[in-house]
Amino acid sequence: MKLDTRNTYAARMLKVLNHIQRNLDEPLELETLAGLTHFSVSHFHRVFKGMLGETIMDHLRRIRLERAYARLAQTGDPVTDVGLAAGYDSLEAFSRVFRKTYGISPTECRKMGWTKIYPEAPSGVHYSSGEIVEFFLNETGEAVMNVRIETLPEIRIASVRQTGPYMESAERAWGMLCGWAGPKGLFTPKTLMIGISHDDPQATPPEEIRYDAAIALASDIAVEPPVVLGILPGGEYAIFTHQGPYAGLEETYKTIMSQWVPTCEREFRDTPWFEIYRNDPTTTPPAQLITDIHIPLK
Say what the pLDDT of residue 148 is.
Answer: 80
pTM of the model: 0.61
b/e code 38-52 from CB counts within 10 Å (16+ = b): ebbbbbbbbbbbbbb
Enclosing domain of residue 154: 147-296
Say what the pLDDT of residue 142 is.
Answer: 34
Say what the pLDDT of residue 146 is.
Answer: 66
pLDDT profile of the chain (298 residues), mean per 10: 58 88 92 92 88 90 94 92 96 96 93 75 74 51 60 94 93 96 89 91 87 93 94 92 88 82 81 92 87 92
First to last CA, the chain: 23
Candidates 69, 61, 82; CA nearest to 115 is 69
Q: Please check whether residue 126 lies inside any domain of the structure.
A: no
Here the CATH number for the domain that contains residue 214 is: 3.20.80.10
Q: Domains in the chain: how many in total?
A: 2
Please indicate, yes or no, whether residues 152 and 38 belong to a single structural domain of this protein.
no
Q: Please check whether residue 118 lies inside any domain of the structure.
A: no
Please indicate, yes or no, whether residues 88 and 156 belong to a single structural domain of this protein.
no
Please indicate, yes or no, whether residues 78 and 199 belong to a single structural domain of this protein.
no
Q: Which contacts qualify for 23-27: CB closer than 8 Å, 24 or more apart?
A: 24/63, 24/64, 24/67, 24/85, 25/85
Q: Please check whether residue 280 lies inside any domain of the structure.
A: yes
Q: Which contacts qualify for 167-176: CB closer than 8 Å, 24 or more apart?
A: 167/246, 167/247, 169/209, 169/210, 169/211, 170/195, 170/211, 170/213, 170/246, 173/211, 173/212, 173/213, 174/213, 176/213, 176/226, 176/227
